[in-house]
Each structure stands twice: as structure tokens, then as C-alpha cells.
Structure 1
Amino acid sequence: MNIHIRTLNENDPALISQAFQEQGWVKPIEQYLYYLAEQEKGERVTLIAELDGAFAGYVNVLWSSPYPSFKDQGIPEINDFNVLIQYQRQGIGSRLMDRAEELIQERTDTAGIGVGVFTDYGKAQILYARRGYIPDGKGIHKHDRYLMPGDETIIDDDVVLYLTKKLKTV
């Protein structure tokens, strides 16, 4: 099994969009064109995983997170982490996370990540806990605010618990 991690290039947006469409997930090509433009401006790095030459997954590192606590503290955010279903449980996600953390460690000692709070995110919740990510202590966040006792909301992909991890210093 040959896992290769590289950065997003101009040939990837259509390929990625198609790969997710084939498994029933809507990931428009425009999303990856946007990622490419931001990567070219130095605002993000999109890491692509290939298994034996085939696209298998990706993750982003956002150098300036839109999440207020990370933004204020200068904590880069690992974001939009996806591995195609057929390639899950083969170490690809761990390799993507390893490389993302290595990139972050070149600039700072803390990585941040957000995770959804319902069942669909269970595998990610477990992975992040095993990797040493802990809640940032601010509770759950949706769009532009923290949810407070008594608030009513629809639990969807936008309800997120943010986590941080201290990276080992060299």
C-alpha cells in the first residue's frame, strides 16, 4: 500500500468533486477551485492523499481560522477533513493529519480542529481524541456564535465543538 501526500494542484478540483459524487456526497468543483485560489495566496494548504496513485482524501490547513478563538490566538485550523469511504480505515486519514500537524508545527506549537457533534462525526471524534485533541473549553459553536443554555438550534453540520492539541516542539 503506497500512500502519497501532496498539495492540491490545478488538475485536482474536477477529480475530487467527481470522486465524492460517485459515493453520493455533494462536493462541487467550485469548492476546490476556491481552495486552490486560497492556497496560491498562502491562506491555506490543501493536502491530497493518494493510494497507489488514486485520489483517496484531503484535508486543509487554514493559517487564519474563521473560528474567533483560534483567530484571536493565532491557532491554525485543520479543516474539511475527508477520506473517501472506500479508503477509510487504511491509515490515510492518519497520514493526512500527520502531515497537517507537521506543517502547523513549522509555524506554531498548537493545532486546532472543529468536529461536528452528531453521529455522522463519531469516527472523527474518536480519531481526534486518540490523537490528543481536547475541547477548547468554549462549548459548541454555530455560524458566528457560541450556543448558550436555553438556545434552540437545529443540529446540523454547522454545530461544531472546537478542539486543540499542543504539538511536540523539536
Structure 2
Amino acid sequence: MSLTALAIRPIRPEDCRMISAAFTRQGWNKPVSQYERYCRLQNEGTRDVLLAEWDGDFAGYLTIQWISHYQPFREASIPEIVDFNVLKKYQRRGIGSALLDEAEMRIKRVSVRAGIGVGMTRDYGPAQILYVKRGYVPCV
């Protein structure tokens, strides 16, 4: 991976329509309002939203929810990485790993542990493999 090809930065209000349109083009329904909400939550300090750009094009994002909605994480004060997506055409380039690196670095400033939310359907198989390789352990 070329280090100059990848940039990670916080979401900005002007990104919302572009992100939604990028996911619509690959057949995923992610409305503009979701990203507008994320901008508000980021401004309030309750969520960080990290965008990945590959050669200047939007490639993916993840969010850090500082106070998890998942009760075991919330009770243990474990921030949670949630809503983590890399566009299909940019997968397998290290972008997801770079996003996780940045998120984990931010989380380490306030917690020795990070939680991660993941779906348990077939669609999440690549994500599940990535999380296990990075040392995340399923919580039941």
C-alpha cells in the first residue's frame, strides 16, 4: 500500500451526500441523514467519525462511539467501534486496517480496551476474520 494513496480524516458536513451516493452506487442503503447525524454527534463529542480517502476518493469510514449502547461495554466504560464500512472496490488494500489503527490509537488515550460491533451474517465474514486477526474476542 502506498502511504501517499491513503488519508484518514474526520467527517465534515459536506461529505454526507457524497458518502451516501458512494454506497448507493454499490447497492447499499445508507441515507444522507445518517451521516448528518454522525456530524452532529462528532461535534457533540459523543462519536468520532473517521473517513478514509484513497487517492482523494472516498473509500470508507468507521465510527467510535465513546459511550457504547451495548450494555456490557457501557458498564465497563469500553468505547465501541461501530458502523465500519469500506467500499467494495477499495477492499483488500489495507484501508480497513488503517482505519482500525487510527481508531485504536484514539481509544488508547482513554481506555485499555476497545469493543467492536459486528454482524453475525455471512456478509460480515471478511470483517469477522479481520477482527479475530487483530485480537478481538467475541463477547456473548
Measured against the shorter chain, the TM-score band is: over 0.9
- Judging by fraction of residues, say which structure has more strand: 1
* TM-score, structure 1 as length reference: 0.79
For the pair 1:108 / 2:86, whether they are aligned, the reply is no
| CA distance in structure 2 between the partners assigned to 1:7 and 1:103 by the alignment | 12
| CA distance in structure 1 between the partners assigned to 2:123 and 2:56 by the alignment | 28
| CA distance in structure 1 between the partners assigned to 2:135 and 2:32 by the alignment | 33
For the pair 1:57 / 2:60, whether they are aligned, the reply is yes
Residues 67-102 of structure 1 deviation map (CA, whole Å, 9 limit, x = unaligned): 000011100000000000000000000000000000
| CA distance in structure 1 between the partners assigned to 2:101 and 2:66 by the alignment | 16
Alignment of 1:1-170 (within 5 A): 1=2, 2-136=5-139, 139=140
Residues 19-44 of structure 1 deviation map (CA, whole Å, 9 limit, x = unaligned): 00011110000000000000000000
Task: Give the deviation of 1:10 after TM superposition.
Answer: 1.2
Aligned partner of 2:135: which letter? G
SS of structure 1 residue aligned to 2:102: helix
| CA distance in structure 2 between the partners assigned to 1:15 and 1:45 by the alignment | 18
Aligned partner of 1:37: which letter? R
Provide structure 2 residue ranges, at least 5 long, that are not aligned to the other structure: none
SS of structure 2 residue aligned to 1:57: strand
| CA distance in structure 2 between the partners assigned to 1:37 and 1:118 by the alignment | 30
| CA distance in structure 1 between the partners assigned to 2:98 and 2:86 by the alignment | 11
| CA distance in structure 1 between the partners assigned to 2:7 and 2:98 by the alignment | 9
- Equivalences, count: 137
Runs of 4+ in 1 over 6 A off after TM superposition: none
Asked which structure has the greater CA Rg, the reply is 1
Aligned partner of 1:25: which letter? W
